[in-house]
Structure 1
Amino acid sequence: MAPKTKIIIDTDPGIDDILALLLAFAATPEEVEVLLISLTFGNIEVQSCLRNVISMLHILEREMQWRKSLGKPEGFDALRAHKPIIAVGAQEPLDDQKMLADYFPLLVVPYLDGKDGLGGIHFTHPHLTPGETWEHLFDPIQDPEVLPSVGSATAHQSFIPSKRAASDEILQVLSDNEPDTVTIVAVGPLTNLALAAAKDPETFLRVKEVVVMGGAINEPGNVTPVGEFNAYADAVAAARVYALTSPNPQSTLPPSKILSGYPAKLSKTLTLKTFPLDMTKKHDLLRGDFDRTITPLLQSGSPLAEWVDAFMAHVFQTLERLHPGHEGAKASLTLHDPVCVWYALTADDPRWKPTKTSPEDIRIETVGQWTRGMCVVDRRNRHKIEDDVESHSDHGLWLSSRAGNRVIRMEDSPGGDTFGMHLMSKLFG
């Protein structure tokens, strides 16, 4: 039976990214096939992202062997049925945003994730990190004219390494599959997606939909008062991807020194569903629930339980130290990225609902000194302009029916208050 959903996960694997990946692999092959994990910079350097993903797969191999030795179902059927390609992507944001990298150690997300993205686990628990004999599998070749296919790379037990850039692999996967059959779940900065779309927009538009964790509408940002981390980290990339939802992408396309504009005529508009902080903050995992799930597994020797407990202990301790109301069992981690994977797995559930005002003209601010990464929406109560006559009181064509973005903003899920335990159940049975 063909999988219900084929997905690409574009990610900068810190803690909630890893939980999202684990949720995807814990599904059944009938539910999902993870075609590609494309890695981008974000909270940490992209090479650290790669180490975290390889470590996760190493732990999953040990976990499945441990379960089998006890006569238990191995689990993680989606991973065992389909090896994902892993490709390394963007190391830095587009254009003149490189200065952002200097700010990353001060941001709200890295202090939860630690310097290596997983609470320092590679230093505190080195026995859980595989030896780096796999690094050569991802070394890019020198001559770009003789790029190999993925199949020419040596396949690992649980993944297929790629020597090509993640943006190229995104295009390859979309080209190899029928149009409107692959969903991209983007839970990091959108740099890889922007690069792929710039190189070949028509192939990129073969995607069924792009599911984005990013932005903040009516909630404060988590990096600046108005900026959410992923949108802030590469605002130009986010704005370029959002522009593909417009019937006239040039109307919202930001200026770029390294990427050209899109063609005047494109075959379709992009379907983009955004999960901003307004939506994801409704989905938490309580420390008490986590501890009740993990404690008996730690006592029985589960490798996955030991690994996850190591970085989750760092998160909960940090939350308790810095945030009022996060004491003891009440400490809670917001599951931003896992919510997006949950949606991809269960998109047919009618309890997933967008805002009544969707699709909305949401634009990403790219040049503001204090507003970089802000989701800008038009809160004026005015009629749309139905013709091509420009209004002198509408700078930016916000009121034009022929311009602006068309973003679907998700608002309701099948149950935010129960999602934390649903995640634990999927991962640990």
Structure 2
Amino acid sequence: MPAKTKIIIDTDPGIDDILALLLALSGKAEEIEVLLISLTFGNVEVRSCLRNVVSMFHIMEREMLWRQEQGRPPGFSALQAHRPVVALGAEEPLQDQTMLADYFHGMDGLGGIHASHPHLTPAETWEHLFDPSADPHILKPVPTGIATGSFAHQSFIPSKRLAHEEILQTLRENEPGTVTLIAIGPMTNLALAAAADPETFLRTKEVVVMGGAIGQPGNVTPVSEFNAYADAVAAARVFALTSPMPASTLPPSSSTEPLYPSKLSKELKLRLFSVDITERHSITKGQFQRTVSPFLEAGSPLAEWVGAFMAHAFRKLESMELGHESDNVSLSLHDPICAWYALTADDARWRPTSASPEDIRIETSGQWTRGMCIVDRRNRQRIDSEVESSGDHGLWLSTRAGNRILRMDGSPGEDEFGGILMEKIFA
């Protein structure tokens, strides 16, 4: 039997982020273990992201109780076997102006669900759990039963550390090469962790990133995908760790101190799920409603909760683009594909591009190109050099420099992914 996959999920929940988390936690206990959920700003500000994650655990507890009462398998065995740590992280990008995606996800990140469905949101007594100055005895875990009016943190372990510190601590506590770090939001927490302790950060098995646009248009500017745009400097700094010479691709800095040591023990393995592949994985409004309706009619708390924010997403899509109407309106499942990869990484149908590893770099200073993924499309001879020349500004042609990114291009049954996602989540 393959070894259990251990993962950290760095996220900014977010509609599709929540779907990704539900998918990961619905895995079998012997297949996957979610060690840590680290939170960053992104789709909405980070405190709203935290409320969304806490609400998710609240709903999952209610859902598992409801399933048991109905004589159904409770599901979510990965969650029942291991409670993940939840840590609060970056509130803003390293250098850029903050950009949020509340125009799509709603001001709270889930289509206004906390106002429209307050009975599905736990009382906010949980906020003290993440305050380093709070008395640890204010709230205690409840050993049995499911919280309804107040909140009992049975399904996760709240951390008082900053998210990037918790990422490093998790990597220290596990054997090198055994933890996959999944980044489905801006990469600020990852960049902070890498800068604080590069060698500990490199203990990760691989970093799986949802972000960037290569051959497809961007989704926040004509050339930039949201996660790469929201903190382009952070993305560039993490990407640089895949290079034999990280300094060759790091963004400009006013600091005289090097960000990383000149010699590192290894190069980071980074697997990129850009919009080029994620946009090919989607679910239609009709497909979603056909799956969820029976659970909703039977009284499933999870179906009511997910149905509310997905209805917002489909309405927003209908209003944003021509051709999106009725049951055929389609939501791209950008973030869930990374969780699906974690669950099925041994499947031979997961394929990088034929050109991988690719030298993909993130633009950090262009007026119109912030967050753009730059690749060298010139048919030029590669050279064995560590020094720039007049014909190779930026060391694009050097065999000793540049990033080494595994850009994913093939998956197991992309046309069926929407159905697979719903089946896993609703068991």
Superposed pair shares fold, TM > 0.5 = yes
The alignment status of 1:269 with 2:232, answered yes or no, reads: no
Secondary structure of 2:126's partner? Answer: helix
How many Å separate the matches in 2 of 1:7 and 1:100?
28
List runs of 5+ in structure 1 lacking aligned partners: 143-147
- Pairs within 5 Å for 1:336-415: 336-388=334-386, 390-415=388-413
The alignment status of 1:137 with 2:135, answered yes or no, reads: no
- Pairs within 5 Å for 1:144-163: 156-163=153-160
Going from structure 1 to structure 2, the CA distance change for 1:260 and 1:48 (only over 3 Å counts) comes to farther
Residue type of the alignment partner of 2:290: R
How many Å separate the matches in 2 of 1:390 and 1:136?
53
> What percent identity do the matched residue pairs reach?
68
How many Å separate the matches in 2 of 1:186 and 1:234?
13
The alignment status of 1:29 with 2:38, answered yes or no, reads: no
Match of 1:251 in 2: 248
Secondary structure of 2:309's partner? Answer: helix
RMSD of Structure 2 on Structure 1 (CA)? 1.8
| Superposition misfits of 4+ residues, deviation over 6 angstroms | none
- Pairs within 5 Å for 1:215-254: 215-254=212-251
How many Å separate the matches in 2 of 1:257 and 1:349?
44
Alpha-carbon distance, 1:321 to partner: 2.0
Do 1:3 and 1:29's aligned partners in 2 also have CA atoms closer than 8 Å?
no
How many Å separate the matches in 1 of 2:385 and 2:395?
11
Secondary structure of 2:239's partner? Answer: helix
Structure 1 residues 173-222: Cα deviation after superposition (integer angstroms, max 9, x where no partner): 00000000000010000000000000000000000000000000010111
Alpha-carbon distance, 1:260 to partner: 4.6
How many Å separate the matches in 1 of 2:396 and 2:140?
51
Secondary structure of 2:66's partner? Answer: helix
Match of 2:17 in 1: 17
Aligned length: 414
- Pairs within 5 Å for 1:99-138: 99-101=97-99, 104=100, 109-138=101-130
Do 2:249 and 2:361's aligned partners in 1 also have CA atoms closer than 8 Å?
yes
How many Å separate the matches in 1 of 2:98 and 2:215?
24
Residue type of the alignment partner of 2:238: V
More deviation in 255-264 or 125-134? 255-264
Secondary structure of 1:162's partner? Answer: strand
Structure 1 residues 117-158: Cα deviation after superposition (integer angstroms, max 9, x where no partner): 00000011111000001110000239xxxxx9x9xx955200
Residue type of the alignment partner of 1:141: S
How many Å separate the matches in 2 of 1:235 and 1:130?
34
TM-score of the two chains, using structure 1 as the length reference: 0.94
Match of 1:145 in 2: none
Secondary structure of 2:339's partner? Answer: helix
Secondary structure of 1:263's partner? Answer: coil
Structure 1 residues 88-107: Cα deviation after superposition (integer angstroms, max 9, x where no partner): 00000002x1x234xx3xxx
Alpha-carbon distance, 1:296 to partner: 1.1
- Pairs within 5 Å for 1:179-218: 179-218=176-215
Alpha-carbon distance, 1:2 to partner: 8.9
How many Å separate the matches in 2 of 1:387 and 1:24?
43
Alpha-carbon distance, 1:257 to partner: 4.8
How many Å separate the matches in 1 of 2:200 and 2:387?
33
Alpha-carbon distance, 1:21 to partner: 0.1
Give the structure with the higher percent helix.
Answer: 1
How many Å separate the matches in 1 of 2:425 and 2:54?
18
Residue type of the alignment partner of 1:115: M
Residue type of the alignment partner of 1:285: I
Secondary structure of 1:163's partner? Answer: strand
Going from structure 1 to structure 2, the CA distance change for 1:125 and 1:257 (only over 3 Å counts) comes to farther
TM-score of the two chains, using structure 2 as the length reference: 0.94
Do 2:386 and 2:395's aligned partners in 1 also have CA atoms closer than 8 Å?
no
